[in-house]
Structure 1
């Protein structure tokens, strides 16, 4: 493995990332500093930010890569890692491993050589420059809702509530069904059923009290 030489920092750093690195575990600080420096060496136009509590590096208004420090290891991820050429890196990216695309990093020796890391970064930069987009994740198929028999009967006896229920979104219908099913006793279930019908007769979703459009009504 090539030796890790010190790389000069890019002059424009986000102070929040300085703070993140300073607060990291002692073993992590040199790792994070080195990775950060390599990112800027690969491209002077990189912009830094914090997203989801982790240091991110942006290029052409898109995420290029990010890094994170944990109690016993560091992780580094390429935003478009699933599209990159290295088979191990790509496999790690597809698997969405918590160890990151470079594997578990506990010391400087766990990092790829600077040359290899710069190759990775240049490949990631090219993907952003060419406007390559990540494929959209397939949407999850919604499970058909099974309406409890007592709710069916109650709705059929209350036309206004039935109309509201039928017009509700999938999630609003699911909220009422789950609320009933989670009742611990029959007495609680019947009380919830009565309340549900009353709410729906007024056109209200289950959690209307917490919704902005219903507040104050």
Structure 2
């Protein structure tokens, strides 16, 4: 069992209500996963299994939290997840946690997911499309190579140019950016072409 003195110090400086919760969680993780290692990530106690994060706990002024790195894959979706980070909501006492058998089962499930190479689910947050401003469209239409390049770009490459142009604060800056964009696109270049690997 690998314990980190920084976790001892973290728990010791928490509020009276939080210390028993954190100690209970720590003991439960080590009981179910004797090979886990402790560390601090984002200034919070984190349990590592192999080279991956297994779970994390934290304490705040009025509550503590506990969550699995593969969250919803371990416990499913629930309403408590929206009340605080982690999957168990705002913990104010050990009684807010599942019983030890359930907690150990969940920890072993998280371990099994890691052993199987399952990656955590990540929600995608697609950006809404940006309309092509009339002044840019007119400039592109006047230069067929630039227009063809822009229209053939993937959405992210088009967005790079559109954001750069529409974020200009002054009309003169916007006009310069449009002229530069058309020149680069006529050469087949993306907005950040200088940083692309050859």
Instruction: Give the TM-score, by structure 2 length.
Output: 0.71
CA positional deviation for 1:169 = 3.7
User: Is residue 67 of structure 1 aligned with residue 57 of structure 2?
Assistant: yes
Q: CA deviation at 1:83?
A: 4.0
111, 114, 138: which is aligned to 2:100? 114
C-alpha contact 1:74 1:99 (8 A) present in aligned 2: no
2:27 pairs with 1:37 = yes
Deviation at 1:142, TM superposition (A): 6.5
Report the secondary structure of 1:191's partner residue.
Answer: helix
2:179 aligned residue (186, 194, 203) = 194
Q: Say how many residue pairs are matched.
A: 198
Question: Offset at 1:44?
Answer: 1.2
Matched, 1:180 2:170: no
Extract unaligned runs of 5+ from structure 1. Answer: 1-9
Are 2:86 and 1:100 aligned?
yes
Q: Distance in 2 between matches of 1:110 and 1:93?
A: 14
**Structure 1 202/23 Cα, relative in aligned 2: closer, same or farther at 3 Å?**
farther
Distance 1:126 1:100, change over 3 A: same
Residues 1:156 and 2:144 aligned together: no
> What is the DSSP-based 3-state SS (H/G/I as helix, E as strand, rest coil) of the residue aligned with 1:133?
coil
Normalised to the residue count of structure 1, the TM-score between the two structures is 0.67
8 Å Cα contact 1:82-1:94 kept in structure 2: no
Aligned partner (choices 14, 17, 20) of residue 7 of structure 2 = 17
Mapped contact 2:36–2:47 kept (Cα < 8 A): yes
Change (3 A) 1:213 1:16: farther
Cα root mean square deviation, aligned: 3.7
More moved, 132-141 vs 177-186: 132-141
Unaligned segments of structure 2, at least 5 residues: none
1:168-214, Cα deviation, whole Å (9 max, x unpaired):
442221122123333445444323322322444455544557x3759
Contact (CA 8 Å) 2:73, 2:120: kept in 1 or not?
Answer: no
| Structure 1 position 107, deviation (Å) | 3.2
Distance in 2, matches of 1:57 and 1:135, equals 15
2:44 matched to which residue of 1?
54
Q: How far is 1:76 from its partner?
A: 0.6
Residues 72 and 126 (structure 1 numbering): CA distance in 2 closer, same or farther, change over 3 Å?
same
